[in-house]
Structure 1
Amino acid sequence: MVFWIVTGALALIVSGIIGLTLVRGRVGDKPPAAYDLQVYRDQLKEVDRDLARGVIGAEDAERIRAEVSRRVLAADAQLKRGGDSGGQPRRGGLILTLMLGALMMGGSLMLYAQLGAPGLGDLPLKTRMAASDMARTNRLTQADAEARMPATDIAPEASEEFLTLMERLRQTVQERDGDLRGLTLLARNEAALGNYVAAYDAQQKIIDAKGDEASAGDYAYLAELKISAAGGYVSQEAEQALRDALERNPEIPPARYYMGLYLMQVDRPDAAFRTWDRLLRESNPNAPWVPAIRTNIEELAWRAGVTDYQLPDAPAATPPLAGPSAADIEAAGDMSDEDRQQMIEGMVQGLSQRLANEGGTPAEWAQLIRVLGVQGKTEQAGEIWAEAQGVFAEMPEALDQVRAAAQAAGVAE
């Protein structure tokens, strides 16, 4: 309320000063005609001086005197008619003053209401940093963050057959404590069902089983699952998982993306912008975090005080790989589970053999590693990743694309 009072008072004062000038019809102690009269008299004296110095002739001096004298008489007559107001109609000046005051006050307040932040107090740097530190200190725990989420059904579109297989997988993992392959399959498939709590529990068990051998990708995926379970909120535990990932590999893209999200949530748009801008410029356009960054980074740049930011042009994305043909899909519908699994295995093996014999695009190498990771074949995925590092050693951007898939599969730092 104080802001609006001060703003209104300033607009009223400025309008009053301008309006007073309009009503008086002059600036200073004299009407405009008085200043004109003084100028013309000075010009007459100047004519005499120029004539004495020989700058102008007698005829020119006489002509100039006549013209200036005519102006002196006109200014004197205007001064006598207008008096102190200079001939300015007071009623017209008063009406114009009121209109101007209403326009300035109403227009300025409406403009600020649209573009400004009326309820926002002063935010000096010290205050903003203190608020950010407070936000960091008071982050919700994972349990508290999840408690705020509405209850949702777990993958209602999942088939009964798949849910039955998931029950078997859960039972098998429970019976085989520390089975990394089983835990990896469980974490990935629970996440696919939207059961993020069970997914990050399985992922935590993977990290516990690996101990010091746990990779940056393991911790980054744990953080991603926790953040998904909290509806996008980066809890205390998720933040720690991100820092564990970045400690092991400061360049791991998923952790960098979520760290930027965390920095936004603790009111550090400057650091978040630097994190996301660099990640955007280094990422393959197919990377899953790129669309989210491109959607939000311009506003983030404005909040960070970067007024001249230009969003980089989106490079052409690598076209998706062609899937099975319509005939393949129709045939798969009549297959038994065993035959269908054999078909999938055949497609994976075919892609693997083609890449080994003929080579392929980075997207194809990344897809193969990703599929093997989902299938729990981490050893084979690791071998493919090692081979890809040699193939794309001289192509950093392509290698980054394959590395992202390897990190998601848990076989790369």
Structure 2
Amino acid sequence: MMAIWFLFALMTGAAVFALLWPLSRRPDPALPEGGTDSVLATETEFYEDQLRDIERDAARGLITPQEAEAARAEAARRLLRASRTLGDPAVARVGEPALRHRRAASAFALSTVPLIALLVYGLYGSPGLPARPQAERLATARDAGRDLAAGVAQIETHLAKHPEDGRGWEVLAPVYLRLGRTEDAIRAYESALRILGETAPRLADYGEALVAGSDGMVTQKARTAFEQSLAADPGGVKPRFYLARSAEQDGNRDLALSRYTALAEASPADAPWMPLLRESIRRLGGTPSAAEAKPAPGEDQRSAIRGMVAGLDQRLAAEGGSPEEWARLVRSYGVMGERDKAADALARARAALGDKAAPVEAVAREIGLSSP
């Protein structure tokens, strides 16, 4: 440690000496006889040659008349300045008082500049920290990126050999999404769904990847995934939010506002998605005050879910709906354990949809409802 500080001090001293040495030198006390005149003659010859070069270039057309005139003026100014400097004995010689001032300034700079540098480093630097060069810091950041890339490559190599490893696809899909590789994420989620089967979280994540791949638009394919996820888990936050956004994108502001508000009322006040929900409610002209209050847990939340399912049932009974909506209603009643209502919803769906009731029949088989 002491060796490095000694080296720093030596380098600082050398730099200061190199800069201040010319100030401390005594000039030649007497120029040689005719020295000024000879130097001046040399300077004059140089500038005369330069003027001749300018005239020659102008005659050849290498420079314009305006450029030639400017060059002549500059050469004349330099010649005049050299003549005045060399012809002034006061400039050619530096007296002893001026020399003493220069040496004093040199000594002051030599002693003060290193001290100021050390003081500033002591106040604002980190002398107690171990040495860590910039290359090492950059290497650390690169290592983190390489670790992630290496992990992804390792999983990809494994899946190339074992493409039916659904768990591997499920692990890789969100990593792809975080890296911005949305198309790869979508394919990975599709593989996971195909191999491992459909679950509410898996369908919700798949729908989110589809939204990311369509620049934030909730496509029909994504909407179907969210509806299936919500049918399996009526309390799922992600599908409820994106279905509300889907209604907003379709121009159905009232439906979107009611969905945003219902989700906000069913969510804890400190949930990480609450700021986004409040902003969405305000954007649609609603009042997020109800969403600000912390909802009661337990039975109240279950009551809210039952209310949502009942609202879906009433809307389908009054207006009808798509096969996916009927399937969601049947699944919701099945998950809630209300099998009589699920069977009734299945019968009404068959009557309303006719030969289009295949999605509803699939849900009925999943939850164990007997065929007619």
TM-score (norm 2): 0.39
Determine which structure has more spread, i.e. the larger CA radius of gyration.
2
State the structure with bigger RCO (CA 8 A, min sep 6), 1 or 2.
Answer: 1
TM-score (norm 1): 0.36
